[in-house]
């Protein structure tokens, strides 16, 4: 997984930000079992962490509105990544 693949599926606007699960699904990653999901999540977290450090991606913490009200991080591209 490279950074370009991650940037390709991230939205340009904060209002359209995606969770790690939504990013994995948009990339077509195999997440049919728990082990597959953990592997995909770890790779995405590493890639997103580097992109945040470089200033290409931003994130904020949100709470799910429906069902279980758990917290998650939502990610989107910054102006630097759009150029």
User: At 74, is the pLDDT very low, low, confident or very high (cuts 50, 70, 90)?
Assistant: very high
Burial call 2-32: b when 16+ CB within 10 Å, e when fewer: eeeebeeebbeeeeebbebebbbeeeebebe
Query: What digits encode the pLDDT tens for the residues 6-64?
Result: 999 999 999 999 999 999 999 998 888 999 899 999 999 999 999 999 999 999 999 98
Please report the pLDDT score of residue 67 as a whole number.
Answer: 83
Fold of 3-82: Arc Repressor Mutant, subunit A (1.10.10)
Alpha helices in the chain (DSSP H): 3-9, 20-27, 34-54, 79-82
Domain boundaries, the chain: 3-82
Neighbouring C-beta atoms of residue 59, cutoff 10 Å: 18
Selected residue with higher pLDDT from 67 and 42: 42
């Amino acid at each position: 997984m490279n950074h370009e693949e991650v940037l390709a599926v991230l939205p340009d606007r904060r209002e359209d930000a995606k969770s790690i699960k939504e990013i994995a699904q948009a990339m077509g990653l195999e997440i049919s079992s728990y082990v597959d999901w953990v592997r995909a999540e770890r790779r995405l977290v590493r890639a997103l962490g580097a992109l945040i450090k470089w200033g290409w991606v931003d994130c904020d913490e949100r709470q799910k509105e429906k069902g279980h009200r758990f917290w998650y991080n939502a990610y989107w591209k910054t102006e630097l990544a759009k150029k």
